[in-house]
Structure 1
Amino acid sequence: MTTVRDLSPTGAPPVRSGALLAALVLAVAGYQINATMLSPALPDVIDRLGTTSGAAGLSQTLFFLFSAIGQVTLARLSDYAGRRRMLLATLAAALVGEAVCALAPTIEVFIVGRILQGVSAATFTLAYLTLHETLTPQKFGRALGIITAVNGGIAGVDLIIGGWVADTVGFRGIFALTGLITVIALVAVYSWVPASAATTGRMDWRGAALLGAGLTGTLLALNEGSVWGWSSPATLALLVGGVLALALFAVAERNNRDAIIDTSVLASRSGWPLLLTTIFTLAGVFGMLNFTIPLLTQTEGAGYGLSATTSALLYLTPASALGVIAAPLVGHFGPRIGWRRSVLIGSVGTAAAMVFLVLFPQSPVITCAALAVLGVTYTGYMLTALNGLAVALAPEDKPGSLPGLNGACFGIGASLGFAVASSVVTTVSSGGPPTADAFQAALWSSGCFVALALMTALLIKNPNKHN
């Protein structure tokens, strides 16, 4: 294990950086495998709990929704309660959620467990903040890349293991496995993550409640609108209520010294272009990679007609594996060339790869090659650089505000991308089996999001001290 010899930017004492990084990798891995391992096991969930695909899909929607809410609220709360304490609390919530899902007799109980697990997404932002406050800038960049590599998936192995466990043991075995990893992470965080100093002030619970209500309403409306109907009373009520709550949130935060989000940062070109870049990037790539591509590669006639395992091995695993390799390298060079420049490199590369996916969706070879490029440009460059830039641009008196909000934008973008891609495929296919035209249209919609991300990335104004 190595020890940090130099003081961090915050003047923190030396720590064992190897042990610290190992503990944080375990912490974020607990959330990540909860997010990915269950995907191939959803049919088993439907069968064993006697539920519908809509209810199972809702459990996934709420999982990512509360991932977004947890990122923004718990990161800010950690400014007052301390990073280590919030990491332990978040992991404890995940462990309870895993136990609930493993023992769930009904889909309703299962959904409660998924909500608790979703909150643990805050481990990513808490890990970034802990590393930034503890390590030197050079060591922070490398560690950030390693943590972000986990965010892109465990080299695709998690998906394969999830499918195998579902086929042999059932979905409950997945939560037994993730629960064991969470227990190990709790012990590691307790043993190796140092306590951090807390800032003065008090948590903005009113702002947190309004923000949570706003995100819940708008994201649920976007995710369920294609199922319930975009003009249905339920969809409209959620959308209007969510927008109203977000408007009230903006008013309430205007002159609040302890605001959960620094509105001055949001209004600056250091804030809103970064957040929009995150949303548009995730919307473009997540919807394509986690919805359109699996359908395209597995659909007979209109697609490639592959099995789920073959599809994952050929089209998802290579991109994830390359991201695991690229992200630490990006983290190493990010502080040297600048996080903003790294974002631009990743954005240009991601847009270039999307061009080939949009123009040649019926070519298995070109699709595979383009997805492999995305493993470097998206998983490696974009995810790492966006997180690094959010930490670097955060106000010194509210270090958890911008990273937490940026983390929430990951969830918002993912939900938006999934909702748009699924709606496009359903609409173009006229409610029937997916068609080649539907896949083409969905890829075009994803490409438009990526193009918007490139435009907003160019607008990010990076202060000189962060160049």
Structure 2
Amino acid sequence: MFQEDRTTALASAAAGNGHPDTGPPPGRVIAALSVAVLAYGLLQTLVAPALPTFQRHFEVSGDWAAWVFTLYLLSGAVLTPVLARFGDRRGKRRTLLASLAVFGAGTLLAAVAWNFPLLLLARAAQGAGAAALPLSFGIVSALLPPQRIGRGLGIVSAMIGAGTGLGFVVGGLLVDHASWRWMFAVLAGVIAVAFLLVARWIPDDTARRDEPQDVPGTILLSLGLVALLLAITQGSHAGWLSTPVLGLFLAAAVLLAALAVAEKRTPHPLLQPRVFLDRPMLLTHCAAALFYAAALIFFLLVPMLAQLPAGGPERAVQGFGFTVTAAGLLMLPSALLQVLMAPLVPALERAFGHRAPLLGGLLLVLAGSLALALWHATPLQVLADSVLLGGGAAFSFAALPSLVVRFAPGHAIATANGLNTVVRTVGGVIGTQVAIAILSTHSVTGSALPSEGAFTVVFTLGAFFAAVGVTVVLLLPRTAATR
């Protein structure tokens, strides 16, 4: 679609909610959805500082403790496209409220968990929170006046990066000075505020599409994603060429290929082929995966570097010896920068075209990753590098939903953003797992510490992902084809 076609599609998506100019106040819509997405952003990194604490408290191995993080990724990957599609069919507001309710219940259960299996069950329930992202983007596109959609998407998107950065700070403060249970209590408070604001300020969808649930597609997608993510997360522990991991990769390939065939044949697919097979959409999803692979290397490995001891053995990387709190504060400027820069994306789109914000964002992530590879010896160097990465993440986070809205069918915006969210997750898991594998296989002899060269390689890997992402964005059409 050209810009005018996109505006027409978005205006028609608001049908049944009143004309966009006479709809709910845009400020209230953006505020309510921003809190919902902030909760999702917090969830991504809030527990990262507490993984060693979980291991000690519940007396489990490090591999089992890692499941506190992995299980949320698995459930989120499965639930997000299903809930997003349900929102497009039966109403985005009611689906968002339901996902927030499950998210909040899981978070409260995690706060009071008295054994490790219960904590894992709670983390699985928290995966429903990931659906807040595509549903919020769909609501913005449906309720806001056309001239406010770009800015609304930018502001809501900024909350992902802000929440991701703040998660380290809040998690670190509470782990260092209180109890890990307070992490979940604080998050539950944010979710409760989001639920109340969405219930009060977001009008109900009046349009419904009474379509049957695509049960085969749901099963194939769920099993395929679980197999893929399990293969990626277990590869660094069990061995990438081990029989179980190769079996999981093969199963994922077969299941996802079967999904592509099945979705072409069913009249009401969970994922319409245009949502993931059309060239512009496919390129946008690839760019999302590559961006997140590079970004999560930064978000997760910089705090790790900051907490490693200074003055270690020869050839070992020299960390900063920071506490969990101080390591989180090192990430704070990057998070704040994303809030400030993301709203600039619509102006960049108008001035330079719809590809420009994501292209510029990935170029900044590329520059920041290369800077980290070359200069990460002092906190000041890392802070300077994070300015580049934070700016790049801000533009990229805000640009991706805008591109999805541009290229996706008007009636499947939440579904398309749901798939884009899943693709980001897969990209982030790939980036971090490969990075962890590199660090673990390049430890200094007689020490558990990674070598200096290992961190250089890992940050260079982030630059490589960003560089490939730049190439993918350049392949996007300069103007969207008319549908």
So what's the TM-score if we normalise by structure 1? 0.92
Amino acid across the alignment from 1:9: A
CA distance in 1: counterparts of 2:294 and 2:184, whole angstroms: 30
Query: How many Å apart are 1:42 and its aligned residue?
Result: 2.2
Following superposition of structure 1 onto structure 2, how do residues 259-274 of structure 1 map, counting pairs within 5 Å?
259-274=269-284
Structure 2 unaligned segments of length 5 or more: list them. 1-7
CA distance in 2: counterparts of 1:201 and 1:462, whole angstroms: 35
Match of 1:49 in 2: 58
Deviations 1:298-327 (A, max 9, x none): 32331232313333323x111111111111
Match of 1:411 in 2: 425
Change (3 A) 1:335 1:86: farther
The alignment status of 1:347 with 2:362, answered yes or no, reads: yes
Amino acid across the alignment from 1:374: L
Count of matched residue pairs = 458
Alignment equivalent of 1:76, drawn from 85, 90, 99 = 85
Amino acid across the alignment from 2:171: G
Q: Are 1:148 and 1:384, in contact at CA under 8 Å, matched by a contact in 2?
A: yes
Query: How many Å apart are 1:229 and its aligned residue?
Result: 2.3
Query: How many Å apart are 1:68 and its aligned residue?
Result: 2.5
Runs (4+) of structure 1 exceeding 6 A deviation are none
Change (3 A) 1:170 1:331: farther
Match of 2:222 in 1: 212
CA distance in 1: counterparts of 2:90 and 2:275, whole angstroms: 23
Change (3 A) 1:398 1:97: same
Deviations 1:122-173 (A, max 9, x none): 1011001001011123311222122111100248444222222223431111
CA distance in 1: counterparts of 2:418 and 2:164, whole angstroms: 25
Higher alpha-carbon deviation: 120-129 or 224-233: 224-233
Higher alpha-carbon deviation: 183-192 or 207-216: 183-192
The alignment status of 1:420 with 2:396, answered yes or no, reads: no
Deviations 1:349-374 (A, max 9, x none): 22222222223343654432121111
Amino acid across the alignment from 2:11: P
CA distance in 1: counterparts of 2:350 and 2:64, whole angstroms: 44
Change (3 A) 1:166 1:362: closer
Query: How many Å apart are 1:179 and its aligned residue?
Result: 1.5
Change (3 A) 1:327 1:285: same
Q: Are 1:347 and 1:453, in contact at CA under 8 Å, matched by a contact in 2?
A: yes
Amino acid across the alignment from 1:351: L
The alignment status of 1:285 with 2:295, answered yes or no, reads: yes
Following superposition of structure 1 onto structure 2, how do residues 231-310 of structure 1 map, counting pairs within 5 Å?
231-291=241-301, 293-299=302-308, 300=310, 301=312, 302-308=317-323, 309-310=325-326
CA distance in 2: counterparts of 1:218 and 1:7, whole angstroms: 34
CA distance in 1: counterparts of 2:183 and 2:275, whole angstroms: 41
Following superposition of structure 1 onto structure 2, how do residues 164-183 of structure 1 map, counting pairs within 5 Å?
164-183=173-192
Deviations 1:67-120 (A, max 9, x none): 232322211111111001100110111112112211222222111111111221
Q: Are 2:373 and 2:455, in contact at CA under 8 Å, matched by a contact in 1?
A: no
CA distance in 1: counterparts of 2:25 and 2:255, whole angstroms: 44
Q: Are 2:162 and 2:335, in contact at CA under 8 Å, matched by a contact in 1?
A: yes
Change (3 A) 1:457 1:464: closer
CA distance in 1: counterparts of 2:177 and 2:378, whole angstroms: 34
Match of 1:360 in 2: 375
CA distance in 2: counterparts of 1:137 and 1:353, whole angstroms: 34
Match of 1:9 in 2: 11
Query: How many Å apart are 1:464 and its aligned residue?
Result: 3.9
Higher alpha-carbon deviation: 51-60 or 88-97: 51-60
Change (3 A) 1:168 1:304: closer
Alignment equivalent of 2:107, drawn from 86, 98, 102 = 98
Q: Are 2:341 and 2:391, in contact at CA under 8 Å, matched by a contact in 1?
A: yes
Q: Are 1:155 and 1:317, in contact at CA under 8 Å, matched by a contact in 2?
A: no
Higher alpha-carbon deviation: 95-104 or 161-170: 161-170
The alignment status of 1:136 with 2:152, answered yes or no, reads: no
The alignment status of 1:62 with 2:83, answered yes or no, reads: no
Higher alpha-carbon deviation: 129-138 or 423-432: 423-432
Report SS of the residue matched to 2:85.
helix
CA distance in 1: counterparts of 2:235 and 2:71, whole angstroms: 14
CA distance in 1: counterparts of 2:86 and 2:353, whole angstroms: 28
The alignment status of 1:325 with 2:340, answered yes or no, reads: yes
Match of 1:3 in 2: none
CA distance in 2: counterparts of 1:403 and 1:284, whole angstroms: 20
**CA RMSD in angstroms, aligned pairs only:** 2.3
Query: How many Å apart are 1:400 and its aligned residue?
Result: 2.8
Alignment equivalent of 2:461, drawn from 445, 452, 457 = 445
Q: Are 1:138 and 1:332, in contact at CA under 8 Å, matched by a contact in 2?
A: no
Deviations 1:1-30 (A, max 9, x none): xxxxx9961244211222222221222222
Query: How many Å apart are 1:250 and its aligned residue?
Result: 1.4
CA distance in 1: counterparts of 2:235 and 2:444, whole angstroms: 16
CA distance in 2: counterparts of 1:266 and 1:161, whole angstroms: 36
Q: Are 1:102 and 1:176, in contact at CA under 8 Å, matched by a contact in 2?
A: yes
Query: How many Å apart are 1:443 and its aligned residue?
Result: 1.5
CA distance in 1: counterparts of 2:215 and 2:433, whole angstroms: 29
CA distance in 2: counterparts of 1:367 and 1:113, whole angstroms: 35
Q: Are 1:214 and 1:243, in contact at CA under 8 Å, matched by a contact in 2?
A: yes
Query: How many Å apart are 1:200 and its aligned residue?
Result: 4.3
CA distance in 2: counterparts of 1:29 and 1:254, whole angstroms: 35
Change (3 A) 1:397 1:32: closer
Deviations 1:433-452 (A, max 9, x none): 21101111211222211111
Match of 1:375 in 2: 390
Amino acid across the alignment from 1:104: A
Query: How many Å apart are 1:333 and its aligned residue?
Result: 4.4
Q: Are 2:370 and 2:460, in contact at CA under 8 Å, matched by a contact in 1?
A: no
CA distance in 1: counterparts of 2:125 and 2:93, whole angstroms: 19
Amino acid across the alignment from 2:425: G
Change (3 A) 1:83 1:265: closer
Q: Percent identity?
A: 29
